[in-house]
Amino acid sequence: MSVDVLGFGAVPLGNLYRALPEREAAATVEAAIEAGIRYFDTAPLYGLGLSERRLGLYLSGLPRDEYVLSTKVGRRLHPSARARNAGIFVDSPPFRDEFDFSRDGILRQVEDSLQRLGVDRLDCVVLHDLGLWHMGSTEIVDAHFQSLEQSGLQALRELRNNGVIRAIGAGANELTLCDRFLALGELDFILLALRYTLLDQSGGEFLGRAHDSGVSIVVGAPFQSGILATGVTPGAHYNYSTTPLEITRRVERLQAVCLAHGVPLKAAALQFPLQNQAVSSVLVGMGGAGEVTENLAMTKADIPETLWRALRQERLIN
């Protein structure tokens, strides 16, 4: 399977930070299709089903064989008494999510995603949020890993063997879990978020190990959830939260070096992960037609080697 260098992240379609009007959401996906983007990633968590429903509707006019569709498993949706805000997602439908990496849970989740997306098969399924950041304790993480190893992986193998899915991946933003995912021996790729960017290259050594193991890497959140796209502006997001002062100062230094070389910070942020041979694609959340056009242009912007050299000299990248 091959994927675009720039993948369409459908997180904003789930009303990330703000309610995205239906017309604007549809125009975003339409712009991506017209621009030739054919790799789309979503998840049940994104707006508690809203992102999947919207993406499936907007892609319905495109022949199924012409695009790569990825969603996630591990968070099962259940009807809830009332609609609520789901953390960073606003105006969510009336559901709640629950972690479930069991065989029955994964089979049910894939079936639910197929219905929301309106398709008969998926290209990629990604294990979602299996880690301390989201679960809170090693005991809970270990229990879900045990469930995955005992029966969940079997379900994914069956789905892959039956042609319902084509590739199995794992989403990770905690490096301590990356090698544990690699040791499962079943993964085709890892979606590494936040750990190989202009602000954080801590995942670099792991990328080498994954490459040597034949496991592909998709880099997610190359803008560190916002600030590497917007630059230093009021309310800029870093790791899906407010930006600490030391990060603000580091971004200011990055901006200054990029400006001196005539390169937009956003272009450098998008192209940096692609310098590593282990990385197949960068996955970017897009919440407007203008963002699609700009992101695509940034992946094609001319970046001189002198910029990367200057960033290394300033110890901003390693």
Please identify every residue annotated as catalytic: 46
Chain-centre distance for alpha carbon 159: 22
Query: What single-letter amino acid sits at 9?
Result: G
Count of CB atoms situated within 10 Å of the CB of 250: 17
DSSP secondary structure code for residue 237 in this structure: E
Instruction: Measure the CA–CA gap between 164 and 206, rounded to whole angstroms.
Output: 30
Asked if 194 and 225 touch (Cβ cutoff 8 Å), the reply is yes
Strands 68-73 and 216-220: unpaired
Would you put residue 10 in left (φ > 0), alpha (ψ -120 to 50) or beta? alpha
* 226 neighbors 287 (Cβ within 8 angstroms): no
